[in-house]
Amino acid sequence: MGSFKGHVLPGTLFLAVGAWHEWAAAARFAADPRGFRLRAWNPVDVGGGGAPAWLPAHLELYVIAGGAFLDMCVEVLYSTHLHIFADGGINPAHLNDLEHGGMLLMFFLFGILALLSQKTRVCRYLPLPEGALCLVASTAFMAELLLFYFHSTTHQGLEGYYHYLLVVVVALCVATTVLGALLPASFPVDIASGAAIALQGLWFYQTAFTLYGPSLPAGCRRDADGHIDCHTHAAQERAEQLANFQLFGLVFLVCAYALGCFAVAAARHGHPDLATMHAKHVAAMEAQLAGAGAGERDRFVGSALPLEDTAI
């Protein structure tokens, strides 16, 4: 992954899956808010159909399993040039690639397990419930988090800071998928899970363009060994502040996309219960605000009464 392409490929997979997960969660909730249930993956015909007949229903799982397998082959076979072992042990020069391959293996296993747990033409091999699939997905994200936290490649300086922010984003993916198993009827958890996955994909893209592309901050350069070196401490701080701003911008973009998905889904698949639930929620908030206002008035009048009695 220590290259532009090595970050763009997994970033594309995470972004595609996360964006689809956000839309699917919004569409399912808008279509049936009372019967909403969280899903670890979403079929193509979610939200009332309308998908082309040639698209397989399990397309998301095919993308996850196939993309993870392809990227794993790139890391283990192509990047190592099959020089995996040296001097009777693992080649330390390619330990980084093998770690990435192990992480991708976890996502590949999630895709395969999810496929086997579905009703196919053959039979239902492994009937895992959605909660169990969420835990399997969280295990894959946890493996990714541990990889980037305890990396054999010691990232320092600006590279280390970008990878630190990546660890934070991956931790959000772990938290949302675990909450998905604990709160299977929560729409906020479901759409937050998709948002975290999409954010991870966008951050992979941002890392690729900043560290390995044309967007290297001013005052920093890449040396002959491929490491990022900032000339001064001020340049290092400025680059880290820029990274914070970039992450904030991507978070804003993901949230705006989630709101857009919900708006479009409500317009296309809006169930009558959705408007009813919204009206009840607004009425409850207005009643709460009115009660709070009345309480403030009573407290003000009560505090003023002793003054009036004293004046009399």
Q: Given 236, 254, 270, which residue is the final one in a domain?
A: 270
Mean pLDDT computed over 184-197: 96
In a shared domain, residues 207 and 251: yes
Q: How much is the mean pLDDT over the chain?
A: 84
User: Over 70: is that where the pLDDT of 235 sits?
Assistant: yes
In a shared domain, residues 289 and 162: no
In a shared domain, residues 278 and 169: no
Quote the pTM value.
0.84
In a shared domain, residues 295 and 251: no
In a shared domain, residues 148 and 187: yes
Determine the pLDDT at residue 22: 96
In angstroms, the Cα distances linking 236 to 149, 151, 170, 178, 292 are 21, 22, 24, 35, 49
In a shared domain, residues 192 and 312: no
In a shared domain, residues 55 and 89: yes
Q: Is the dihedral of CA 300, 306, 310, 312 positive or negative?
A: positive
pLDDT tier for residue 311 given thresholds of 50, 70 and 90: very low
Q: Rounded to an integer, what distance in angstroms lies between the CA atom of residue 155 and that of residue 162?
A: 9
In angstroms, the Cα distances linking 292 to 250, 298, 302, 305 are 37, 10, 15, 20
In a shared domain, residues 177 and 158: yes
Residue 303 belongs to domain spanning: 274-312
In a shared domain, residues 288 and 265: no
Asked if 95 and 83 touch (Cβ cutoff 8 Å), the reply is: no
pLDDT tier for residue 310 given thresholds of 50, 70 and 90: very low
In a shared domain, residues 256 and 304: no
In a shared domain, residues 98 and 213: yes
Question: 170: burial class by Cβ within 10 Å (0-12, 13-18, 19+)?
Answer: buried
pLDDT in tens, 193-219: 999 999 999 999 999 999 988 889 988
User: Over 80: is that where the pLDDT of 308 sits?
Assistant: no
The total number of structural domains that make up the chain: 2
Percentage with pLDDT > 90 across the chain = 48
In a shared domain, residues 280 and 242: no
- Better-predicted residue by pLDDT, 250 or 266: 250
